[in-house]
Amino acid sequence: MTQFSLPDYTLTSDQVPLVPSLSLPEVQRQQLKSEIKAQLKALDAALVAHYYVAGDIQELAEETGGCVSDSLEMARFGRDHPAQTLIVSGVRFMGETAKILSPEKQVFMPTLNAECSLDLGCPPEAFAEFIDQHADRTVVVYANTSARVKALADWVVTSSCALEIITALDRAGEKILWAPDQHLGGYIQNQTKADMLLWSGACVVHEEFKTQALEDMRRVYPDAGVLVHPESPAGVIELADAVGSTSAIINAARELPNKEFIVATDRGIFHKLRQLNPDKVFIEAPTAGDGATCRSCAHCPWMAMNELKCLNRVLGDAIYRAQNEIHIDSSIAERARLPLDRMLGFKA
């Protein structure tokens, strides 16, 4: 297996925004929700939301004929939906993916400030140099990257399909250059034994889950199943009963016989888990313990920027909407579409 030394592209605490968690009064929430529903209808827009955004927004997407899903299904849904206006509630790479796949549609987000530490931790110029140094490798990037990084890749994958695609590439004898998440890359490398050279980025949310504290928690809840997203550190993954994407975690919670689960991923997912399994108990995996930081709250600060007020504003305020529309240079978008289409057309 190839070893290569890269600078650490994990973000430091001062690069991660502090986003206050605001609880609106019930009357105001309901008022905003009914305004948003009316505006979605007036604009004939589809709301495409990720499992990590606020429960209110997930409900709005479902109640208005949009979707709530992981990034792979968000991409498919946006591409296949007849609406010419898409409102993507998630983080910026999700809006960019929707635009790449549907260049004829207008794609807006509640705020374009919603970034992702993996995207930020993979600057296109540095990544292009890395590729040049390893020109014999097939470039596979995680969906959590900018359009410019996708435009440098042979394949794009999400956590739902990464294992299957790397397995197929490995069987075809290809050596892989993987970016940006070192933990997900390490997990796949471990599972497939493929020759993978890993970029050094990390998700600031999943990296905070703590192995020792999780072991302690399992002693408190000995009958609980442990569900882990593979962006988490290797020690946390080793303790899992099921490892997988947000969709895989949701399926495992339904299928495993346990009545309690400890869940190591963004706590936004608890809305869907509790909705689908009202008789089961879901407990947040610990982010405290040695090495805990002020960002240890198991909730993505950029996902948290998707507030009802921003969503309402992007629908109702034309100037704000224009400021939060996704635009991608057409040559970059066309090149980035190739690896995305490869992923969407992949059959194991």
Residues that bind ligand SF4 (CB under 6 A): 91, 116-118, 144, 203-205, 231, 266, 300, 302-303
Looking at the Cβ atoms of 32 and 214, the one nearer to ligand SF4 is 214
Q: What is the sign of the dihedral through the CA atoms of 10, 300, 184 and 235? A: positive
Looking at the Cβ atoms of 106 and 158, the one nearer to ligand SF4 is 158
To ligand SF4, the closest distance from the beta carbon of 245 in angstroms equals: 11
To ligand SF4, the closest distance from the beta carbon of 231 in angstroms equals: 6
To ligand SF4, the closest distance from the beta carbon of 296 in angstroms equals: 13
Tokens of 124: 């296109």
Distance from first CA to last CA of the chain, Å, rounded? 24
The per-residue DSSP string of 23-68 comes to ---HHHHHHHHHHHHHHHHHHTEEEEEETTS-HHHHHHHHHTT-EE
DSSP secondary structure code for residue 319 in this structure: H
Contact assessment for residue 46 and residue 86, using Cβ atoms and an 8 Å cutoff? yes
Rounded to whole angstroms, the Cα distance separating 164 from 161 reads 6
Helix H or strand E encompassing 182 = helix 182-192
User: CA-CA-CA-CA torsion for 279, 66, 268, 108, nearest 10 degrees?
Assistant: -170
Contact assessment for residue 62 and residue 68, using Cβ atoms and an 8 Å cutoff? yes
Rounded to whole angstroms, the Cα distance separating 145 from 166 reads 18
Looking at the Cβ atoms of 170 and 266, the one nearer to ligand SF4 is 266
Looking at the Cβ atoms of 117 and 312, the one nearer to ligand SF4 is 117
Looking at the Cβ atoms of 56 and 231, the one nearer to ligand SF4 is 231
To ligand SF4, the closest distance from the beta carbon of 200 in angstroms equals: 15
To ligand SF4, the closest distance from the beta carbon of 204 in angstroms equals: 5
To ligand SF4, the closest distance from the beta carbon of 210 in angstroms equals: 16
Looking at the Cβ atoms of 170 and 231, the one nearer to ligand SF4 is 231
